[in-house]
Amino acid sequence: MSNPESAEARSTPETRESSEVNEPSESFDALLKEYESAHARRPEESGAQIEGTVLSITSEWVFVDIGFKIEGALPIAARESLEPGDRVLVSIKGRNEDGYYALTRFKVAQPKDWATLEKAFEEKTAIPGRVTAVVKGGLRVDIGVPAFMPASRSGARDAAEMERLVEQEIVCRITKLDTATEDVVVDRRIVVEEEARATRERRYSEVVEGEVVSGTVRSIADYGAFIDLGGVDGLLHVAEISWARVNRPSDVLEVGQPVEVKVLKIDAEKQRISLGMKQLQPHPWDGVPERFQLGQRVTGVVTRVADFGAFVELEPAVEGLIHVSEMAWGKKVRKVSDMVKPRETVEAVILGIDAAERRMSLGLKQAFGDPWKEAARNLRAGIQVEGPIISFTKFGAFLQIADGVEGMIHISEISAEKRLNHPSDALRVGELVKAQVLSVDADKRQIRLSIKRLVPTGLDEFLAEHEAGDVVTGRLLDKSGELARVELGDGILAHCRIKAGAEEKGDATAAGAADLSALSSMLQERWKGSSKAGAPARELLKAGQIRSFRIAKIDAETKKIELELV
């Protein structure tokens, strides 16, 4: 059998002109038949489906490359989800008036008699038809015999779309057939849905996890956007649109917008495809170690708060956490919202960066300055401070000296008059009190305080009323070598250095005859009264003696008194 395409190829304008000259009797009719014969379907392709490639789409036709010299044309109504470049299965029905191969997407032939229609109805096979008119309640369709298609089964979304189907070729299925009354009802919608389902399954099988694909935004919801990937939809979640925070997908996307996305995950069981756009952009954390350093002071916006802290956005998609423990120096923060609130701009200091885990820890209190640095410079033992009582423990009370600086008053340093079972026996939270600094440990951030040492005592009165050189009377408590302890009054102790040869001197009036029970009263009167001592008598020093002493040195700050025998 000769190949018409080869014959066509061998034919040239010169040979055709020569043929016309040599055979003038050949009519135009014969030439047309020869042309049609050269471009006719191959017998083996009659009724068979072949795969073609969509070349272009117009308002009326979808042009398909089917491997012949002339393209095929599908009616626009059969387009469904086709786009240029898509592969599609078609059958050749013949030639249309423009010379293109007339195509259909189904391997079907139009029934020629009622027997064929009955067979198509029983087997539920698809048949071609042509919409001839819009009628009440639906469409009139020619499937070899007149048929009715209800509007709800046309697959059209509105009346305007139904109008556009007139004179279009469609594929439908017979849902009712009454040969007696010649009543035939057809359904296009079910065929369209089956075709769309087949297209989805085919496209789904073509999508590969991890690949970058092109698509079009089909619809937008609060939680994301659905992207049409050419017959199958994928979900672009709002969190996957951009590395920066996106509140609403509609802020950055619109329906019909072409986009490039990455396939993140395919759920084979549910046939769901998860997509991402931000994965096609550089991650903001990639350059964080170069842009941020430890100890750097930064400014950011609080994005959200939790029980354990607050998240602060320093750059789009670069957040740091201010832990609740890093919000204030002194007080314990019970509610994060008491310190910062969402959308508030704050200053903080970078405490740590973990680029691998994309985490950054920030400090709010460090941005205010460390109050302990100033406290270590200004506080020292012996000075007086004032502040409110902020809390209690069993062993003492805490006094706030400055914001972030607290001192502890041990229970034994609260009162000199009575023994306390609990600090709350003498103090209350919020009470403003004065205290004396006993010690400062800047490394441990600890300050020891005393209240009772600010209350005047007999020793304070003694120190205020005497000075070095005064002669006073006291009782010898004990003696060790050259050093003796002397009691000058109730709670007033002094030290006396005994020189060799001075023990024989003494106060004759005091030689063992004093009433020791009245010692405190007598000594009080003696050092407040005359400082003249009586005539000395020689006697060895021993505990309990009442003797006269001269004050050699007084240290008011440490409250120490040094004596010498008179």
Q: 24 pLDDT exceeds 50?
A: no
C-alpha 514: how far from chain center = 85
Which one of 2.40.50.140, 3.90.1150.10, 3.10.450.40, 2.30.30.90 gives the CATH number of domain 207-280?
2.40.50.140
Average pLDDT over residues 344-368: 90
265-279 core/surface letters (b: 16 or more CB in 10 A; e: else)? ebeeeeeebbbbbbe
Average pLDDT over residues 331-339: 83
Strand, helix or coil for residue 534:
coil
> Would you place residue 8 in the very low, low, confident or very high pLDDT band (cuts 50, 70, 90)?
very low
pLDDT of residue 458: 77
> Would you place residue 128 in the very low, low, confident or very high pLDDT band (cuts 50, 70, 90)?
confident
- Evaluate whether 114-194 and 207-280 have a shared fold: yes
The mean pLDDT value of the chain amounts to 80
> Would you place residue 206 in the very low, low, confident or very high pLDDT band (cuts 50, 70, 90)?
confident
> Would you place residue 398 in the very low, low, confident or very high pLDDT band (cuts 50, 70, 90)?
very high
Query: Is residue 419 classed exposed, middle or buried when 0-12, 13-18 and 19+ CB atoms within 10 A define those classes?
Result: exposed
> Would you place residue 65 in the very low, low, confident or very high pLDDT band (cuts 50, 70, 90)?
very high
Alpha carbon separation from 74 to 47, 62, 101 (Å, rounded): 15, 5, 9
Q: Which two tokens stand for residue 282?
A: 């550089």
pLDDT of residue 530: 41
Q: How far apart are CA 125 and CA 177, in angstroms?
A: 13
Q: Which of 523, 541, 507 is nearest to 473 (CA)?
A: 523
Q: How far apart are CA 348 and CA 361, in angstroms?
A: 10
Q: Which of 225, 226, 238, 234 is nearest to 266 (CA)?
A: 234
Average pLDDT over residues 9-19: 40
Alpha carbon separation from 433 to 25, 381, 412, 426, 428 (Å, rounded): 132, 17, 16, 11, 10
Q: Which of 463, 480, 481 is nearest to 472 (CA)?
A: 463
State the maximum Cα–Cα separation within the chain, in Å, rounded to a whole number: 178
Which residues lie closer than 8 Å to 444 by C-beta, 6 or more apart? none
Q: Which two tokens stand for residue 286?
A: 């990639």
- Residue range 467-565 forms a domain whose CATH class is mainly beta
Average pLDDT over residues 364-378: 81
Average pLDDT over residues 22-46: 47
Cβ 294 vs Cβ 353: under 8 Å:
yes
Q: Which two tokens stand for residue 346?
A: 């704050």
- Phi/psi zone of residue 382: left (φ > 0), alpha (ψ -120 to 50 degrees), beta? left
The domain 4-104 belongs to what CATH superfamily?
Nucleic acid-binding proteins (2.40.50.140)
Q: 45 pLDDT exceeds 80?
A: no
Q: How far apart are CA 261 and CA 511, in angstroms?
A: 110
Per DSSP, the residues of 12-76 read -HHHHHHHHHH-TT--HHHHHHHHHHHTSPPGGGTT-EEEEEEEEE-SSEEEEE-SSSS-EEEEG
Q: How far apart are CA 462 and CA 484, in angstroms?
A: 20
Is 0.75 topped by the overall pTM? Answer: no
Q: 138 pLDDT exceeds 90?
A: yes
Q: How far apart are CA 172 and CA 192, in angstroms?
A: 8
Q: 18 pLDDT exceeds 50?
A: no
Which one of 3.50.50.60, 2.40.50.140, 2.40.30.170, 2.40.440.10 gives the CATH number of domain 371-454?
2.40.50.140
* Domain parsing of the chain, residue ranges: 4-104, 114-194, 207-280, 284-351, 371-454, 467-565
pLDDT of residue 351: 93
**114-194 in CATH: which number?**
2.40.50.140
Across 89-93, 123-127, 435-439, 479-483, least confident range = 89-93
R_g of the chain, CA atoms, integer Å: 53
pLDDT of residue 22: 43
Which one of 2.40.50.140, 2.40.50.100, 1.10.3720.10, 2.40.160.20 gives the CATH number of domain 284-351?
2.40.50.140
Q: pLDDT of 82-112, one tens digit each? A: 788 888 888 787 787 788 888 877 555 556 6
Query: Is residue 299 classed exposed, middle or buried when 0-12, 13-18 and 19+ CB atoms within 10 A define those classes?
Result: exposed
